[in-house]
Amino acid sequence: MRVSLEDALSSTAILLFSYDLAYRTFDPGEDALTNTLTTGLRYYLTKQLYLEGNTGVDIIDSYDKRTYFEPLVNLSVIDDVDRNTRINITFSHRYSTVAYQQNLFNYTQISGSFNRQLLKKLAVSLNGFYGEGEYIGADIKDKLTGVGIGFVYDIWHNIKGTLNYNYTRALSNVDTREYARIRYP
């Protein structure tokens, strides 16, 4: 669940607030609940180029029955090149619960995307990322890189068709955790 508010301070600055709630459960196993509070600023350098920064805290009631108060930071540079094209570069640092094991992951990531409306009904997205982090309570450190391409076609009214291709490579200080994965639905 997400609730977000924006308040225009001026024609070039917008104040941002958000609250997120995430719940993960394992069966069998313990549950984790994350409350995220952030505040930030979107600042327009030009009509098309802007900076967006958010900072806040993740309050995580973790699988180990401890409560963690962990900082988070997101910084983005976004360029709406024209009405059909957007370029985005983002730096992130935060803690998060993990979908496939009862653990917390402390990570830093840089990502970028290029989105273009090619035709009236066809859009393309190119993206890439590099990130690294470590699991809390385990001596596991991972590095991940990935690239992807996606197409979205407006079939009819609110019905869209998508085609995605993603490649991810994981390196780790634990050899059995290393992999290369290709995903395309």
Type of residue at 75: L
CA distance 120 to 146: 29
10 strand-pairing partners: none
pLDDT, position 146:
97
Cβ partners under 8 Å of residue 119, min gap 6: none
Q: Tokens 């983002």 belong to which residue?
A: 90
What's the confidence (pLDDT) of residue 5?
96
Task: Tell me the one-letter amino acid at 24.
Answer: R
Full residue range of the structural domain in which residue 178 is found: 2-183
Phi, psi angle pair for 46, to nearest 5°:
-140, -175
In this prediction, residues 109-124 reach a mean pLDDT of 96
Mean pLDDT, residues 29-48 taken together: 95
Banded pLDDT at 138 (limits 50, 70, 90): confident
Task: Please check the confidence at residue 34 and state whether its pLDDT lies above 80.
Answer: yes
Residue 33, pLDDT above cutoff 90: yes
Decide: helix, strand or coil at residue 17: strand
Confidence at residue 162, expressed as pLDDT on a 0 to 100 scale: 94
Per-residue pLDDT reduced to its tens digit, 46-101: 999 999 999 999 999 988 889 999 999 999 999 999 999 999 999 999 999 987 78
Residue 144 neighbours by CB under 8 Å, 6+ apart? 129, 130, 131, 132, 168, 169, 170, 171
First vs last C-alpha separation in the chain: 26
Number of domains in the chain: 1
Q: What six digits make up the tokens of 134?
A: 């470590």
- Give me the phi and psi of 175, to 5 degrees please: -55, -35
What CA–CA distance (Å, rounded) separates 106 from 133? 5
Average pLDDT, the chain: 94
- The answer on pLDDT for 185 being more than 80 is no
Residue labelled with tokens 């009509």: 47
pTM, 2 dp: 0.86
pLDDT of residue 79: 97
The CATH number linked to 47 is 2.40.160.10
Give me the pLDDT at residue 100, please: 79
* Tens-digit pLDDT profile for residues 10-22: 999 999 999 999 9
pLDDT of residue 28: 86
Omega into 28 within 30° of 0, i.e. cis?
Answer: yes
